[in-house]
């Protein structure tokens, strides 16, 4: 049963991360770890729609910024806005560590998160929490040491969700 779930998760997740560069891949899992941590705290209601809405608004903001226009797109729900407020300082390096990636990389990763959160309930079990359940399984398996090369997934496994991704 567990093996079948892992195979289903892999079939869903692999096309989402396919083609990401190393930094984008690391950033993708830093974002996942942060979303997972925030969803687990129960401080705010988080479901796949909130994740999708958050990723969509942040991606639109970075896309607009990449064109030289400073405009903050806002999510359509209060929980998504709160999640965006939690993610933005991490992504922009306002935690004192500097930006974690270029706007182009942030845009690519956030669009993939948006796609994953949108498509998860069509493919995976879990209804409105299908994507969050997947993220939880991935975070658990990486923290249990199920990965072959733990050095490359270190940002996703740390207790401190602050990324160790380096700016290009």
Whether residue 167 is contained in a domain is answered as no
Is pLDDT of 162 > 50?
A: no
Is pLDDT of 161 > 90?
A: no
Q: How far apart, in whole angstroms, are the C-alpha atoms of residue 80 and residue 49?
A: 8
Average pLDDT over residues 138-159: 54
Whether residue 93 is contained in a domain is answered as yes
Quick one: pLDDT at residue 103? 86
Q: Which domain holds residue 80?
A: 2-146
Is pLDDT of 95 > 90?
A: no
Distance of CA 38 to the CA centre of its chain: 11
**Average predicted confidence (pLDDT) for the chain:** 83
Higher-pLDDT residue of 26 and 151 is 26
Q: How far apart, in whole angstroms, are the C-alpha atoms of residue 134 and residue 138?
A: 6
* Tens-place pLDDT, residues 117-137: 999 999 898 899 999 999 999
Whether residue 106 is contained in a domain is answered as yes
**Which range, of 69-73, 143-147, 149-153, averages the lowest pLDDT?**
149-153
Number of domains in the chain: 1
Whether residue 152 is contained in a domain is answered as no
Average pLDDT over residues 43-71: 92
Six-digit token string for 92: 């922009």
Is pLDDT of 151 > 50?
A: no
Average pLDDT over residues 15-36: 92
Whether residue 162 is contained in a domain is answered as no
Whether residue 158 is contained in a domain is answered as no
Whether residue 118 is contained in a domain is answered as yes
Pair 39, 56: CB distance under 8 Å? no
Quick one: pLDDT at residue 101? 81
Is pLDDT of 2 > 50?
A: yes
Whether residue 98 is contained in a domain is answered as yes
- Spatial CA neighbour of 113 closest among 137, 92, 135, 95: 135
Is pLDDT of 154 > 60?
A: no
Which residues lie below 8 Å from residue 54, measured CB to CB, with a gap of 6+? 75, 80, 81, 83, 84, 87
Q: How far apart, in whole angstroms, are the C-alpha atoms of residue 94 and residue 108?
A: 20
């Amino acid at each position: 049963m567990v093996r079948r779930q892992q195979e289903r998760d892999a079939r869903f997740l692999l096309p989402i991360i396919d083609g990401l560069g190393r930094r984008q891949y690391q950033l993708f899992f830093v974002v996942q770890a942060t979303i997972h941590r925030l969803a687990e705290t129960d401080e705010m209601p988080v479901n796949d729609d909130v994740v999708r809405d958050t990723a969509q608004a942040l991606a639109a903001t970075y896309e607009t910024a990449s064109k030289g226009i400073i405009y903050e797109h806002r999510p359509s729900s209060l929980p998504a806005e709160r999640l965006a407020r939690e993610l933005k300082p991490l992504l922009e390096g306002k935690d004192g560590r500097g930006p974690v990636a270029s706007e182009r990389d942030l845009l690519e990763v956030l669009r993939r998160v948006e796609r994953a959160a949108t498509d998860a309930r069509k493919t995976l079990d879990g209804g409105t929490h299908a994507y969050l359940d997947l993220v939880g399984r991935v975070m658990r398996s990486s923290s249990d040491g199920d990965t072959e090369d733990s050095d490359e997934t270190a940002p996703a496994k740390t207790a401190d969700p602050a990324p160790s991704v380096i700016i290009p």
